[in-house]
Amino acid sequence: MNALRGMMWLLIFQSAGELLGRGLALPLPGPVIGMVLLLPALRWPAVQEPVSACADFLLSHLSLLFVPVGVGVMTHLSLVSQYGIRMLAVVVLSTLAGLVVTVLTMHLLRDNHPGTPAAPASAKDVDV
């Protein structure tokens, strides 16, 4: 029963995100806005406990969520054989681009944040 309350909370926040996204013509998807709204609400035990129970239930059945993807791949196997190398290249390149942007952002934030000690250049610079 607690997991159903958690699902209710998740759907309420997703719906609120959809309403805000469409009503204010925001450039973000409704579920993303809903997750941003959910984040501060998780401090409240009336939301946190049911959502936690729902998350545990969904994670325990996570493998079932891959079945539709597998069926879709099997249905469109001719497209995968035709464009498979291109899709693989796009996935690899976009993953690398995301990693590079993340690393550059972290370096930029670390270098611009005063008081953060810089990492030692080598192991012999570390005092033991």
Say whether both 10 and 42 belong to one domain. Answer: yes
Residue 11 counted as domain residue: yes
Residue 65: per-residue pLDDT:
84
Residue 25: per-residue pLDDT:
92
Residue 94: per-residue pLDDT:
97
Say whether both 33 and 90 belong to one domain. Answer: no
- The percentage of residues in the chain with a pLDDT greater than 70, rounded to a whole number, is 88
Say whether both 79 and 49 belong to one domain. Answer: no
Report pLDDT digits (tens) over 48-102: 999 999 999 999 998 888 888 889 888 988 988 899 899 999 999 999 999 999 9
Say whether both 40 and 83 belong to one domain. Answer: no
CA distance 70 to 28: 28
Residue 128: per-residue pLDDT:
52
- pTM value? 0.58
Show the tokens assigned to 79.
């497209």
* CA 20 from centre of chain: 20
Say whether both 75 and 60 belong to one domain. Answer: no
CA distance 34 to 100: 28
Domain that includes residue 58, residue range: 1-64
- The percentage of residues in the chain with a pLDDT greater than 90, rounded to a whole number, is 66
Say whether both 45 and 100 belong to one domain. Answer: no
Residue 96 counted as domain residue: yes
| In contact, 4 and 12? CB cutoff 8 Å | no
